[in-house]
Structure 1
Amino acid sequence: MNLIISIFAAKSFFNLMETKVVLITGASAGIGLSAATQLMERGVRVYAASRRGGNSQKASSGVGELIPVKMDVNQPEEIASVVAQILKENNRLDAVICNAGNGIAGSIEDTSNEEMRYQLETNFFGAVNTINACLPVFRSQGYGKVIATSSVAAVVPIPFQAFYSAGKAALSIFMQALAIEVKPFGIQCCTILPGDTKTDFTSARKYAEKSQSTDSVYYQTMKKSVGRMEKDEQNGMEARIVAKQMADQAMRKSMKVTVVPGFQYKVICWLFKILPTRISLWVVGLLYG
């Protein structure tokens, strides 16, 4: 009997040691929550970070679980505390997925410095804060995966959402540079570029204060442009489709450097690379200008 108990105890211990551990930000809804749930069902222990927290979940079968943690990516001390908690409870961290983000609309001229910084703070610096907190762990382990959610808007400049595009473009370039720097330490990097996706992101979008005034020379064009974008988003891909690509990369032995979910968005990104800039901007202007 004692031998049987010892065998089961050893088996449980090795199952725990083999269980992948992932930290994902922006995991209370949309793509982030879907990715966290999919990873949980694949047997991953997922720390789902957001500013509002959430409910714990267990996989329908296996050892996977979702552990909600309250964390603001703009507060480095909160990130450090969560990473310390993960290490204390697991003694490892296999991957971090930086998915937290927000959006602000309005013309460049109508957007204040404070509003510009608000847009870049979470979408770019929040990801950088989270990644920097995880890199020492990955280096000490000799392995680790960094996944970040950028956007097709990093390739296609979106008028009246210029600072969203700029932040996502900065994140994409940052991730490529990071991939080169950390490769000697066994760390992999992957950037996900979703196109229009049906999530709560649309209803959560903020507007620059001045852009809401009918006195703005951009008011009518801005409203039309953002309205078209919001319609495209609400008729876009399901969050689970993008989340599956994210989860797939987290589980791969060797990640892709860049992933663009959806055939049409792959084509759009390819065209923007080969077409003259003047033509590309003319097309975007027809759609959203």
Structure 2
Amino acid sequence: MLVAANRFGASTVDAIAKQVGPAGIDIAYQRLGDPLAPAVLLIMGVAAQSIHWPDGFCNALLDCGLQVIRFDNRDAGLSTHFSDAAVPDLPAVLAGDLSSVSYTLSDMAADAIGLLDVLDIEKAHVVGASMGGQIAQTMAIEHPQRVHSLCSMMSTTGNMAVGQPAPEVLRDLFSGAPAETREQVIEQYLRAMRIVGSPGYPVDEGEVAARAGLAYDRSHDRVATARQAVATVASGDRTERLRLLQVPALVIHGPADRMCDVSGGRATADAISGAKLVLIEGMGHNLPPGLRLQLAAQITEFVWHVERVSLR
């Protein structure tokens, strides 16, 4: 099996794609691996950046002969921020008033398709985590001809009856004054991982702190995080549209996920015909060191199976 000659790490340089998608925005991305190999597009969640896909996980995909693209969603990292947009009002959005919503998951899915256009990739295996899983689902629904396979991780369908955080998690995560300084943001991220992380797989707090600091240095935008959050709510329930999908699908979730209850993963797998559901004991709402090779193995096995079937 092909082993990629280049690796994700501290020296990996971001490229900036200009005028991407219908919105014509900038998208920061990193692409490594053989450009002729199957393409895996990684999509992160709310308040997360491309660098929140751990290097070890990405390199495990490369080692299995895949090419890997990770990128900053709009309003994250080095991609375009919608700083002039309306201030998001989450309680109003939850009550049905969408006037403060700047964009939806459909817009974010169109950004990802636009990035594939820039990279001259006809079809990709799309892997999304948390909100990224919802964007990946939306890509498969609205652009099925561009999605070779779908992997939805620790995510949900948009049905508010499933996949919800535990009430005490929201209280613990968002109590106290907002984090503003670099040190405060790092401590907040460490606290979040202690609350929603994987109880069966300890984190390396030094690594977590370093990544949080790097993310702060790339971009710190609290309001952008809120804009992404209201986009997920405003996009509504995808269940019935997921039932119509003909795209091969893998759903990965942890029963210990306190940020997105496992019912969201179960509902996603139930909605997509033929979807494979993998539940990993001890997995919460993160990608800790002890899980990365296991997750990469699940995804690469699935991707290569889809590739083999498509050649028949």
TM-score by length of 1: 0.39
Between Structure 1 and Structure 2, which shows a larger proportion of helix residues? 1
Which structure's relative contact order is higher, taking Cα pairs within 8 Å and 6+ residues apart?
2
